A = this chain, B = another copy of it.
């Protein structure tokens, strides 16, 4: 047998491994016989591939179900105690890390309040690396094997994993996140914008019916991740979704991005708290619940600004659903009505193409879960 034939057999086997793994991921607890039906491969091929995947620690076998007819089949699932993905998030006022196992379950997570605007990138990176190591060590003590990491950051990232610019972190410019984390963790590391990762987490871990939506996330910065037909829309150069810099009032206050009157100046966390006259998100929620007029006005003003910017997004992209994430997920009961009111006035196609607005399935941990999720999705796709 020639080397080319051997190589091609290897490729076919690899392809079929990925096919079987995806079939288990799509519908856990399938038996070997059900996998043969689902993939069109022979029973013998399936058995060999499943043995392979069990040996590699990608699949696990549960105790046999008693079938109604014939022999019982052992249900196969993704191995929740094998390869795992590490996610890291660097945001303006917090850092976060988590580990997901292959089934998507969170197997460890930590968040720390850090004011990355005051500290240098060196300090922020040191703390984020320490946090990532803690979460990883805990997961590895539980028997998981962290195989790669992904970092989400509240800024513009290039294809080499370098943070180019973060409007709310003016000191963080040209920071090689991929290189820094890869050296520190001795892992392959990818980097992405946190709004993109949050949208992917919503796609992967939210309701399966959601295939077209914008996830609008608010923390200190405001961003959107747009998913079209089950795929993240990244834009031509990878910088789509910068909703926080859409103009709400062209004569409005100056913004960290160098412009003025951007959505962030009206609906970012700091504008919200400043307008409500208080210091923290929890206090804002407490006061809004108590009916505090200033807090309620701040929230309805923010909702109106969000509605204006989101109406622009819908007018240009025509999306059927908007999910509110991050801090906005916790403020949904006060934001949704003013957002809907603006969409009801400002979306040109509103009568024929309604837009659903609701709170996202995931909250402020969406981005870090999306980061860890990119690792496990890559493991499953590779077979």
Residues in A lying within 8 Å of B, measured CB to CB: 156, 158, 164-165, 167, 212, 224, 226, 228, 233-251, 257-259, 262, 304, 308-309, 311-313, 315-320, 345-349, 351-353
Contact A237 B318 (CB under 8 A): yes
Contact A352 B316 (CB under 8 A): no
By Cβ-Cβ distance, the 4 closest A-B pairs, closest first, are A235-B318, A239-B349, A237-B353, A242-B315
Taking CB atoms, residues of chain B closer than 8 Å to A233 are: 317
Jot down 18 A-B pairs with beta carbons below 8 A, ordered by A.
A164-B349, A164-B351, A228-B236, A235-B319, A237-B320, A237-B352, A238-B318, A238-B353, A240-B318, A241-B316, A242-B347, A243-B315, A245-B347, A247-B346, A257-B348, A259-B346, A313-B316, A317-B317
- Contact A318 B239, CB 8 Å, known A249-B250, A346-B245: yes
Task: Name A235's closest neighbour in chain B (CB-CB).
Answer: B318
- Contact A167 B316, CB 8 Å, known A212-B236, A247-B248: no
Shortest Cβ distance from A7 into chain B, in angstroms? 25
Shortest Cβ distance from A115 into chain B, in angstroms? 22
Which listed residue, B156, B224, B257, touches A352 by the CB 8 Å rule?
B156
Shortest Cβ distance from A227 into chain B, in angstroms? 10
Contact B318 A246 (CB under 8 A): no
Task: Name A262's closest neighbour in chain B (CB-CB).
Answer: B346
Most buried by B among A312, A347, A352: A312
CA A251 – CA B304 in complex, angstroms? 12
Taking CB atoms, residues of chain B closer than 8 Å to A251 are: 249
Shortest Cβ distance from A184 into chain B, in angstroms? 25
Shortest Cβ distance from A303 into chain B, in angstroms? 13
Contact B234 A318 (CB under 8 A): yes
Contact A312 B316 (CB under 8 A): yes
CA A246 – CA B316 in complex, angstroms? 8
Contact A320 B247 (CB under 8 A): no
Contact A345 B242 (CB under 8 A): no
CA A351 – CA B173 in complex, angstroms? 12
Task: Name A256's closest neighbour in chain B (CB-CB).
Answer: B348
Shortest Cβ distance from A141 into chain B, in angstroms? 41
Contact B237 A316 (CB under 8 A): no
Most buried by B among A233, A234, A345, A352: A352
CA A320 – CA B262 in complex, angstroms? 21
Using A167-B348, A240-B316, A243-B316 as known contacts, list a sample of 13 further A-B pairs with CB atoms less than 8 Å apart, ordered by residue number in A.
Answer: A156-B348, A164-B349, A235-B318, A236-B318, A236-B319, A238-B318, A239-B348, A240-B317, A245-B347, A245-B348, A249-B251, A258-B345, A316-B316
Shortest Cβ distance from A57 into chain B, in angstroms? 39
Taking CB atoms, residues of chain B closer than 8 Å to A237 are: 318, 320, 349, 352-353
Taking CB atoms, residues of chain B closer than 8 Å to A164 are: 349, 351-352
- Contact A242 B165, CB 8 Å, known A235-B319, A247-B248, A318-B234: no
CA A291 – CA B61 in complex, angstroms? 81
CA A269 – CA B237 in complex, angstroms? 33
Task: Name A247's closest neighbour in chain B (CB-CB).
Answer: B308
Which listed residue, B212, B242, B320, touches A349 by the CB 8 Å rule?
B242
CA A156 – CA B347 in complex, angstroms? 12
Taking CB atoms, residues of chain B closer than 8 Å to A259 are: 311, 345-346
Taking CB atoms, residues of chain B closer than 8 Å to A308 are: 247, 250
Taking CB atoms, residues of chain B closer than 8 Å to A352 are: 156, 158, 164-165, 237, 239
Most buried by B among A233, A249, A317: A317
Contact A242 B348 (CB under 8 A): yes
CA A317 – CA B228 in complex, angstroms? 12
